[in-house]
Amino acid sequence: MTADRLRARLAGARPRAERALASLGTAIELLRAIRTRLQIIVVRRRGAVAQRFPAPVQRGPGPRVLAVVTHLTREGRPEEELVERLRQTIDGLLTSLGHTRLELALNTLPGRHVADRLPAYQRDRLTVCERADVDDPLFLGFEAQELFAGRLEEFDWFLFLEDDLVLTDSLLLEKLAFFAAAAPADAVLLPHRYELLEGGKVWIDMRSRHRPDEVTTASRLTQVVAGDWTFAEHVNPHSGFYALSREQVRRWLASGRHWYKLCSYYGPLESAATGCLEECFRIYKPHPDTREFFEIRHYGTRYAELYERRPEEP
């Protein structure tokens, strides 16, 4: 057989082979389409199975939480700004602790608050506690302790926070219990504060205007490790926030609170939020490597802008 005849025969066989293979290809694609459709049908039936075998809902009423927000208007500060930051603070509590039996109290002075300008849904949830017997407004934060002491047996958790902190953590109480199970009995966990600046977080408790980078000032000697998380004592323990269990408050009250209304840490504001704790507790925060475990937003960008515009190193 000549080469030309062989080529002609092969050329004639090609259409027949292509037709045979085309039929096979169509069958394969059809099977694939059927298999895909069957997979979709099976997935869509999962909802019917879940509905037929529902898991029991055992959610209880939730722990009892008393959150006290210390709030005071100041001269020169626009009232609209004060209203907005207090509104965000309360919204943060309502969002993060909405699954608990939450009671909100505003620790303030007569005529020195903007509670009447809050949205109705917040005013309805808020108890305004005007302390007329406070000699120095700067020491107002200490009065939150009296609210805790007076209602010790009514709540499981007690929260103190300044009126410019926004909590966004629905697992707050679970995280505190997780830490407490691994830490010494006298340890209390506070969050790291951050501010949002141009879409980024600036961790203001670990920054210095004289240092170009974040300062990882965490003790190696007293670290607590729990699972994949590490906690440590920091050079700057301040947060403007603390959350204590009933047993921790009871322990604090039994200590005598000798540092009550005492400037033990910088000024009276910081002392009421942080310094007063140090007479009874060792203050921990998450290690810088795992700082997102427990964090709280500081309203505004005052410190973030300050650190970003820090002077040059000498």
User: Which stretches of 18-100 are assigned E, i.e. beta strand?
Assistant: 64-70
Mind listing the pLDDT tens digit for each residue in 151-204? Answer: 999 999 999 999 999 999 999 999 999 999 999 999 999 999 999 998 889 899
Segments forming the whole domain that contains residue 258: 64-308
Q: What is the pLDDT of residue 40?
A: 93
Q: What is the pLDDT of residue 314?
A: 32
The whole-model pTM stands at 0.84
Both structure tokens of 314: 């000498």
Q: What is the pLDDT of residue 307?
A: 77
Q: What is the pLDDT of residue 17?
A: 64
Is 73 contained in some domain?
yes
- Which residues in the chain show pLDDT less than 70? 1-20, 208-216, 308-314
Is 255 contained in some domain?
yes
Q: What is the CATH number of the domain that holds 197?
A: 3.90.550
Is 14 contained in some domain?
no
Is 9 contained in some domain?
no
Q: At what angle do helices 246-254 and 143-150 cross, to 10 degrees?
A: 110
Q: How far apart are the C-alpha atoms of 271 and 261, rounded to whole Å? A: 8
Are the beta carbons of 228 and 216 closer than 8 angstroms? no
Mind listing the pLDDT tens digit for each residue in 44-75? Answer: 999 899 889 988 888 888 999 999 999 999 88
Q: How far apart are the C-alpha atoms of 155 and 144, rounded to whole Å? A: 14
Q: What is the pLDDT of residue 16?
A: 64
Is 32 contained in some domain?
no
Domain total for the chain?
A: 1
Is 182 contained in some domain?
yes
Q: What is the pLDDT of residue 9?
A: 62
Is 18 contained in some domain?
no
Q: What is the pLDDT of residue 6?
A: 55
Those residues whose C-beta lies under 8 Å from the C-beta of residue 265, and which sit 6 or more positions away, are 238, 271, 274, 275, 278
Q: What is the pLDDT of residue 12?
A: 57
Is 35 contained in some domain?
no
Measured over the CA atoms of residue 265, residue 74, residue 203 and residue 311, the dihedral's sign is negative
Q: What is the pLDDT of residue 117?
A: 97
Burial state string for 72-104 with b = 16 or more CB within 10 A and e = fewer than 16: bbeeeeeeeebbebbbbbbbbbbebbeebebbb
